[in-house]
Amino acid sequence: MDRVFELKLPYGDFDLTPDPDCMMVYVESHRNSEVPKLQPREIPSWFFEPDTIWFHFGAKDSEDKVAAGSRLKYKLLQELGSA
């Protein structure tokens, strides 16, 4: 899937590219102002499945991009759970 969505969060703006066939969500710092905005409550539930991997391209070189994506995924999941 090559559809990109913008997700604005208090700790950053991100472009998310979901790939449901591979159970992956690719995360980058927001760059494209023409992509549709996605509200946190509109995120499909499969994004948060345990097997879904969030791959954060913007992670520091010394940081594992999958680990950085996982932290973002679980931080967002906690926020949604407490809202």
Q: What is the mean pLDDT of the chain?
A: 88
DSSP 39-52: -GGGS-GGGGSTTP
- In three-state secondary structure terms, 82 is helix
CA distances from 83 to 26, 43, 62, 75, 77 (A): 24, 14, 33, 12, 10
- Helix (H) or strand (E) run with residue 19 in it: strand 12-19
pLDDT digits (tens, 9 = 90+) for 25-48: 999 988 878 889 988 888 899 999
pTM: 0.84
